[in-house]
């Protein structure tokens, strides 16, 4: 076993498992190097020699059911996932209801918030995204595939993936944000931003009753405008619909859909180079906020807020790595972030990241 990935598309009943059987995944240092390539892509927020874009070669591909009662627990693919280092090889029989350790605290977040927000007050940036990492430790480890199945059960609306490589480690992701998806000449992407936590009776709907604040509307508009400007460099045939509310777990976001045509898929890497990172995970202006984040954020993002998914000749499904965690034996590193504007407050932004972290925390508690 060299590298493994398994992913399920939103509302899918099956997942696709991909294995590279020998050698290590290709290591790329720019999105442009993805032109004309095929495989499962795992890209970091900041591409470096130590955290490059990883391209898993599809030596073996298999489709498996993710529906309860239809799962083949004896599948050889699943056995390979159970032994990927640094994940423990024994499954936990239960998970504690409380966690013993947290990496990020309100105090460390306050330092970062003050630093980031000061740049908005000075007018240096229009928007900047601040992320943080929380560490959870369990009494016993949980098999990675068990976490993947739990995510499929809890989050039918999201793209779910589990990726394990020697270079990048083992990552579980549940994300609602499409970066690039399509086949042939027909393609789409989305502008996703703004967050409200659903409570009470709202949990029975799709977020249609949410009243959006000016801050959330403005934040999403920044992202949509940026994407439109990027697409204009590659095509004159694109359309935008939205924004509208979409649910992701117990959160709801504002989303605009972009559909467009490309003469061929030979240069998808160039398009990804232009799109990524979007203001949804970085800020505006893009280059300046990216530099500030990578030099000032308390915890390196690694593969959080990068992108991942299948890049293929016939079809492509690439998603932004939003709600995710890195799995290391009994320790789980959970990542979340939020977009800051000039009128953002520390308490509101902290609570937003707490709500986003619950997407992954919910997987660490075994349901009855």
Strand 159-165 vs strand 127-137: parallel, antiparallel, or unpaired? unpaired
Q: What pLDDT, on the 0 to 100 scale, is given for residue 30?
A: 97
CATH number of the domain bearing residue 115 = 3.60.120.10
Q: Where are the alpha helices (DSSP H) in 265-336?
A: 268-275, 286-296
Q: What pLDDT, on the 0 to 100 scale, is given for residue 169?
A: 95
Q: Where are the beta strands (DSSP E) in the chain?
A: 3-8, 14-20, 26-28, 39-43, 53-56, 60-65, 127-137, 159-165, 169-175, 178-183, 186-197, 238-248, 251-261, 283-284, 307-311, 316-320, 323-328, 331-340
Q: What pLDDT, on the 0 to 100 scale, is given for residue 60?
A: 96
Q: What pLDDT, on the 0 to 100 scale, is given for residue 83?
A: 54
Q: What is the DSSP letter of 298?
A: S
Instruction: List the domain range (segments joined by +) for residue 9.
Output: 3-364
Q: Which of 202, 135, 193 is nearest to 337 (CA)?
A: 193
Q: What pLDDT, on the 0 to 100 scale, is given for residue 90?
A: 36
For tokens 């390196």, name the residue: 300
As for how many domains the chain has, the answer is 1
CA distance 85 to 324: 18
Q: What pLDDT, on the 0 to 100 scale, is given for residue 76?
A: 59
Least confident of 20-24, 200-204, 229-233, 235-239: 200-204
Confidence at 208, pLDDT banded by 50, 70, 90: confident
Q: What pLDDT, on the 0 to 100 scale, is given for residue 88?
A: 36
Q: Where are the beta strands (DSSP E) in 38-167?
A: 39-43, 53-56, 60-65, 127-137, 159-165
Q: What is the mean pLDDT of residues 62-84?
A: 72
Convert the pLDDT of each residue in 303-332 to its tens digit. 999 999 999 989 999 999 999 999 999 999
- Residue 97, pLDDT > 90, answer no
CA-atom Rg of the chain in angstroms: 20
Q: What pLDDT, on the 0 to 100 scale, is given for residue 274?
A: 95
- Residue 5, pLDDT > 50, answer yes
Compute the mean pLDDT over every residue in the chain, rounded to the nearest whole number.
89
Tokens for 103, please give them. 């990496």
Q: What pLDDT, on the 0 to 100 scale, is given for residue 114?
A: 98
Relative orientation angle of helices 346-361 and 106-121, to the nearest 10 degrees: 130
Question: In the chain, pLDDT over 70 holds for what percent of residues?
Answer: 90
Least confident of 45-49, 80-84, 276-280, 301-305: 80-84
- Residue 252, pLDDT > 80, answer yes
H/E run at residue 224: helix 214-231
Contacts of 243 (CB under 8 A, 6+ apart): 191, 217, 220, 221, 224, 254, 255, 256
Q: What is the mean pLDDT of residues 252-272?
A: 94
Relative orientation angle of helices 214-231 and 268-275, to the nearest 10 degrees: 150
Contacts of 91 (CB under 8 A, 6+ apart): 82, 141, 142, 143, 146
Q: How many CB atoms lie within 10 A of CB 341?
A: 19
Strand 316-320 vs strand 307-311: parallel, antiparallel, or unpaired? antiparallel
């Amino acid at each position: 076993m060299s590298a493994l990935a398994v992913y399920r598309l939103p509302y899918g009943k099956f997942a696709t498992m991909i294995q590279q059987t020998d050698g290590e995944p290709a290591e790329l240092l720019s999105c442009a190097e993805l032109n004309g390539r095929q495989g499962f892509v795992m890209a970091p927020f900041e591409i470096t020699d130590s955290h490059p874009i990883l391209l898993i070669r599809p030596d073996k591909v298999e489709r498996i059911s993710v529906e309860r009662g239809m799962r083949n627990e004896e599948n050889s693919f699943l056995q390979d996932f159970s032994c990927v280092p640094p994940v423990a090889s024994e499954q936990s029989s239960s998970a504690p209801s409380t966690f013993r350790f947290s990496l990020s605290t309100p105090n460390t977040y306050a330092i970062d918030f003050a630093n980031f927000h000061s740049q908005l007050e000075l007018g240096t940036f229009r928007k900047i995204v601040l992320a943080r990492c929380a560490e959870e430790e369990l009494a016993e480890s949980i098999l990675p595939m068990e976490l993947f199945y739990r995510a499929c059960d809890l989050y039918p609306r999201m793209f779910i993936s589990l990726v394990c490589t020697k270079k990048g480690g083992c990552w579980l992701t549940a994300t609602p944000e499409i970066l690039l998806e399509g086949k042939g000449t027909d393609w789409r992407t989305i502008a996703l931003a703004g967050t409200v936590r659903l409570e009470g009776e709202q949990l029975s709907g799709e977020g249609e009753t949410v009243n959006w604040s000016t801050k959330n509307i403005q934040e999403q508009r920044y992202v949509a405008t940026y994407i439109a400007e990027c697409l204009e460099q590659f095509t004159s045939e694109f359309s935008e619909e939205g924004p509208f509310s979409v649910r992701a777990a117990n959160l709801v976001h504002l989303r605009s859909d972009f559909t467009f045509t490309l003469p061929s898929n030979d240069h998808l890497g160039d398009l990804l180079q232009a799109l990524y990172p979007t203001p949804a995970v970085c800020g505006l202006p893009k280059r300046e906020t990216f530099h500030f984040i990578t030099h000032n954020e308390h915890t390196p993002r690694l593969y959080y807020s990068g992108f991942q998914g299948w890049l293929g000749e016939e079809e492509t499904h690439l998603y932004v790595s939003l709600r995710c965690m890195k799995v290391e034996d009994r320790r789980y590193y959970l990542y979340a972030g939020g977009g800051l504007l000039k009128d953002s407050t520390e308490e509101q932004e902290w609570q937003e990241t707490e709500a986003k972290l619950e997407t992954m925390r919910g997987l660490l508690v075994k349901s009855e």
